[in-house]
Amino acid sequence: MSQRRAGSRPRWTLLAVPVGWIVAVTVIDILAPPHIHLGPLLVAAPAVTPLFGGPRTVGLVAALAVVAQTVIGLVRDPDEPLSANHQAQIIALVLVSTSLVIFCVLRERRATELAQVRYVSETAQRVVLPPLPGKLGPLCAAALYLAAEAEARIGGDLYAAARTSSGTRLIVGDVRGKGMTAVDDAALLLGAFRAAAHREADLSELVAHLDRSVCRGLTGPDERGRFGEAFITATVLDIPDRIGPVRMISCGHPPPVVLRGGRPTTVDVHRPAPPLGMGDLAHPRYQVDTFPFGPEDLLLLYTDGVTEARDADGAFYPLAQRIAGRRERDPAAFLDHVRRDLLDHVGGHLDDDAAMIAVTRTAPPVP
């Protein structure tokens, strides 16, 4: 059973406004001197009705206005009912009302199409980018995706997690470009990661496999028919369940931030690798960086849509500065704070997609 949208249901309390206007204009016009004609003001009633009603409501108010105009013509001049002047006013009122009804029909059709597009986008995002599990072994995780286009709700930013026999592997990345080509490239990398994260024992071998997969998948043309211009920046991490440092390979991606005791520390990337998809050109040797991640720490991964978000004066969002002093142990609550602060910084609208992952330990690592 289809449900009518809230926007097409008239708010009956507001409907009293145009109806009251029609009644008031009719009464005043009938009682006014012969040289004063207020009938043209009736068009205001159907004109304001689309603000809260659909085509049926507009049609109803328009019909009442036409009836009122007819009554005015009959009552004011009983010797010559519906003079040429009143007939012209009625015809003009009918034409304007018909245009308003057509506008409401087109508006509702557009709203239906937009709702369908949003539904498809949300479904595609859940398929390509499903939510992270809240529990990943001894880890507690949360993810956030902010699309630059509210109607799209999906883009080229990506993240995923996979459990292994000894820990958890995470990836966060950003596809160069926008549109469906970026979504396809993101789906390609995520599929390769989910298939190989459990199989490749060594982190460098995993990243090399991802680069080969991306190189093979990005050899076709993009939406504009251009070749060889696509790549994906990414950070891949291996977080052990037991005591030990986090192992990381950064492929041209912004470095993670560790929040320890309310003090943010940006992880140093000593041996960065080129973005995925450029391995055939650079022939990189993937070297692993490490950093500590204790039971009281919060690990934040993000895409450049966060740090490159600008305010009205053109200043970038100072991520490390804005999260300093935060001591939340709930990753979801922490990301909700960052989301509100980020949107407040940019005035409510992002110019680029942004993704974030927050991770904490639910228990001290086992020796």
pLDDT in tens, 13-28: 888 899 999 999 999 9
> Who has greater pLDDT, 183 or 173?
173
pLDDT bracket for residue 259 (50, 70, 90): very high
At residue 115, the pLDDT reads 83
Q: 217-232, pLDDT tens digit by residue?
A: 665 555 555 545 678 9
CA distances from 197 to 80, 114, 168, 360 (A): 89, 37, 9, 21
Q: Does 8 score more than 50 pLDDT?
A: no
Average pLDDT of the chain to the nearest whole number: 84
Question: Which of 315, 302, 304 is CA-nearest to residue 345?
Answer: 315
Read off the pLDDT of each residue in 110-131 and give the average, rounded to a whole number. 77
What percentage of the chain has pLDDT greater than the value 70? 86
pTM of the model: 0.69
SS3 per-residue string spanning 257-274: EEEECCEEEECCCCCCEC
State how far the alpha carbon of 146 is from the alpha carbons of 156, 288, 343, 359, in Å: 11, 30, 10, 18
Instruction: Place 7 in a pLDDT band, splitting at 50, 70 and 90.
Output: very low
Residues 138-153: pLDDT tens digits?
999 999 988 776 555 5
